[in-house]
Chain A
């Protein structure tokens, strides 16, 4: 997989914590690779804030979008392209891993 350049937008508490709203990241095109590359700039804690190493996936309690589409709604492996925009919201509004808050 060749390297791609992706714009990463941070929101809410992540902005204050990492002192950045927007950064451009070069990575291998995978989500894991993107988060690893961003962690080299923002610090190791970013990795654990965003990635669940045990499950090998982006943390379930974030809103994590690629070009506005939540990755939970995208089918198959996600391959980032040059110029893609990734938005990351901390776990403040959703995805709390409780599937039956409302008993359907």
Chain B
């Protein structure tokens, strides 16, 4: 009696388990190898590379052109303009968001420190932005892989995964990253609906216009630079950018740190 009840329970248990798992097995069997899972495909016009890079010919730039370039980038990417006029100088400096901006030679190349710099270079505007490093310290630092390096070399951010710990900002030796210390949306003059706005509490930076490359367009800054900036595949010896690099002497920012910046400057 005791024995047969135990056997009944055992059989019933196994049967229940079998009925329970059957649909799971079916589901796994159906999805395996038939390509039913969603699949991301690059667009037909997408521009591709092994390591995107940028050359900035500083001899061709002046303040006016530089401003135009910055405006092109920031309006494309909904970068807020948290200006002194709206929040006061102190707060504006603290809360500022910038993807590409103008600085001096001394600030861009802090490790070079020439004592006597040519007057021309002294006054020349220098554009600085994310260097999309070969060995990005920010990617290494990120605890959630919200910052990652794509196979085409672009260091990209997932604004929805970022927890706002700002480890990447400490890790970046170029000061290329900004943090949304407040809601940026009220400071966007005209929202570009083709690109997401950000929320408070996440980090952001230049994305080498990954969204434009995907549809076959060059980065907004390059387009606005009217030939002063050349964008292309650094690993393709036949690319235009490599041609430019063969013809000109160029320097990069803080190469001694071993990060391998992909932005080159013609001085």
Instruction: Please say whether chains A and B are actual partners in one complex.
Output: no
Residues of B within 8 A of A (CB): none
